[in-house]
Structure 1
Amino acid sequence: MRYVAPARGTIDPEVFLRPPLSAWPAHAPWVRADAWPGIDALNAARPATMRERFVAQTPALLDDGLHYEQRIAERGDIATRESNWHDLFNAMVWLRYPDIKRALNLQQVIDIARMGTKDRSRAQYAMTHFDEAGVIVALRDHRLLEAWDAHDWHALFWRERDAWHDGRISIDLFGHALMEHALTPGKLLVGKALVFLARGLRDSAVTACAEGVRSGRLLRDPLDLRPLPLSGIPGWHPENGQESFHRQAACYQPRREGRRYPAPLSI
């Protein structure tokens, strides 16, 4: 069933105090105010190095015959529906992670030129999954992979709960659809993760992600992505402070028979 976001003004304010929405304080007025930010407000927040700009998605704009990704590549125009949660969160991700967004656009346009606008490659599916639900994981304790590989969610999120506080594992949420779903209190969120074995700064995983996508080394197949039940991370769900949550949460699915995950990239 297609998700329908709650109307502005009806949202429980508690969702803005919990990840992932609490991690965007610079844009808090855009999501918490009574009125929607306009296109001009979105553009005024762009970093000086950002060539792309947000443009209102109108019938006249769509009459140009260009694919959404082609319009960005050729004109720098990001078609944006006004008064729309999904597109507002997409704009916020563009503002925080422009290099990754630009890298995705580059690879999407390459495949559109090869496949046309009706067919899609495995890489395009992978990139779309990441764009909508992507999570960038910086892992500093390789031993946590044993539990993750086995879908031993009780171990990853309860027995190793301290790892999410002490920096042995950390995430940057990229997928704007996850942000939209987080508007519904208690909704169970599952991300699609790229994992980097990090020894340096957390930002190095974001940089490595952008470089890997731009070069075509990453996101060549949807199976490159690992499921990560974000609602298990401390603070992400109001009930996950209880061990019982980690034994029965519906977002905790067993590993499919024969499923294998790629090794994390060292950075």
Structure 2
Amino acid sequence: MTEAAAESGAGTARRRFIAPPREQVDAACFQHPLFGEFAAWHALMTADDWPDIETLNACMSLPGRCFVAQDAALLEDGEHYEIRIQQGRIATRLQNWHDLFNAMVWARYPAIKHAFNAQQCRHIAVTGPTVRNRAQQALTQFDETGVIVRVRDIALVDAWDTHDWSTLFQAHAARWRNGDIAVAGVIGHALMEQMLVPGRLLVGKCLVVQGDDDSACIARVAEAIMAGEVLAAPAELRPLPLAGVPGWHPQQDADFYAQADYFRPLREGRVYPRPLR
């Protein structure tokens, strides 16, 4: 059983994930629903060669911002990564899966990435560039491993509140399929990077919104982040074993859902916030 480093959270001692070389990645992995909202950039993921900075900027126009190569010359300015973004420069490592996926998330969900940056810069202005408070940890966790889940009926999160995974995924399977509950958006580029390795069982860290429209729910999350309504601490984020989502894993029988090392029980005292409205 291999679980995404996403579940460990920031500041742990788990070994850093190293993505496979481009030539070793099976392009079939990009057909997974995790990549569903990023089809416009399928060629950037599957081409034989890595895209350069000029290609990224041509494919992903971001008003007021552009991607710049993170090289020794750039780093000489000594600026914090987030401060450069505030200035309009998104430092991007070349030939790097993590940063390619980060660029794709910028292009797909610019309002959320802008909100991340605005909040990080606000905290840096107070605590300085070397201290990270709980809110910054939460922002980073959602940036790296975040998933937005939309629910029509708020009662659907009751099973999630107690980590009753069999009810959430099996008993409510039809409701996942008809859109009563759905993954509205994948924000975490670290999740995308980990999906490059077959067999990894990933855990997203979620914000939940009650609503009917995916785009409106994503916009609500961006608004809430910008306003500081959410992500004051990592404990606000709900873990979601993504392989349990109906249709997201080839084996979803009773034995699969019985794996307690992946579908983990609720920790004593853990309480999640109610969905955004």
Q: Pick closer, same or farther for the CA change 1:54–1:99 going to 2, 3 Å.
A: same
> Is 1:52 the equivalent of 2:77?
no
Can you list the C-alpha shifts for 1:236-255, whole angstroms capped at 9, x where unaligned? 22222x23211126321111
| Matched position secondary structure for 1:265 | coil
Question: In the alignment, which residue of structure 1 is the partner of 2:18?
Answer: 4
Matches within 5 A, 1:158-173: 158-171=170-183, 172-173=185-186
Structure 1 residue aligned with 2:44: 30
Residue type matched to 2:272 in 1? Y
Alignment partner, residue 271 of structure 2: 260
1:22 Cα deviation from its structure 2 partner: 4.1
Q: Residue 110 of structure 1 corresponds to which residue in structure 2?
A: 122
Please, which of 65, 81, 85 is the counterpart of residue 68 of structure 1? 81
Could you say which residue in structure 2 is the equivalent of 1:148?
160
User: Secondary structure of 2:67's partner?
Assistant: strand
CA distance in 2, matches of 1:3, 1:27: 23
1:232 corresponding residue in structure 2: 244
Q: Give the secondary structure class of the aligned counterpart of 2:205.
A: strand
Gaps (5+ residues) in structure 1? none
Is the 8 Å Cα contact of residues 186 and 237 (structure 1) preserved in structure 2?
Answer: no
Q: For the residues of structure 2 that align with 1:105 and 1:23, how far apart are their CA atoms? A: 22
TM-score normalised by L of structure 2 = 0.91
TM-score (norm 1): 0.95
Matched residue type, 1:146: D
Of 188, 202, 205, which aligns to 1:189? 202
DSSP-derived class of the 2:100 partner: helix
Deviation of 1:23 (Å):
3.8
- Where does structure 1 differ by over 3 angstroms across 4 or more consecutive aligned residues? none
Q: For residue 248 of structure 1, give the secondary structure of its aligned residue in structure 2.
A: coil
Matched, 1:248 2:259: yes
- Deviations, residues 70-124 of structure 1 (Å, cap 9, x unaligned): 01112x0000000000000000000000111001100100100100111111110
Q: What percent of counterpart residues are identical?
A: 50
- Secondary structure of 1:170's match? strand
SS of the residue aligned with 2:258?
helix
* Residue of structure 1 in register with 2:34 after alignment: 20
Larger deviation, residues 154-163 vs 62-71: 154-163
Match of 2:193 in 1: 180
| 1:13 Cα deviation from its structure 2 partner | 3.0
Q: Return the alpha-carbon distance in structure 2 between the equivalents of residues 2 and 164 of structure 1.
A: 33
Is the 1:18–1:235 contact (alpha carbons within 8 Å) kept by the matching residues of 2?
Answer: no
| Unaligned segments of structure 2, at least 5 residues | 1-14
2:254 partner letter: E
The offset of 1:50, in angstroms, is: 2.1
Letter in 1 for 2:189: H
Structure 2 residue identity aligned to 1:165: R
Contact 2:38 2:108 in 1 (8 A): no
CA distance in 1: counterparts of 2:20 and 2:45, whole angstroms: 12
Q: Given the alignment, which residue of 84, 94, 103 partners 1:91? A: 103
Q: 1:183-202: CA deviations, max 9, x gaps?
A: 1112101000001111x422
| 1:188 counterpart letter in structure 2 | L
Q: 1:35 to 1:184 in 2, by over 3 A?
A: same
Report the Cα distance in structure 1 between the residues aligned to 2:250 and 2:269, rounded to whole angstroms.
33
Q: How many residues align?
A: 262
Shift of 1:208: 0.4
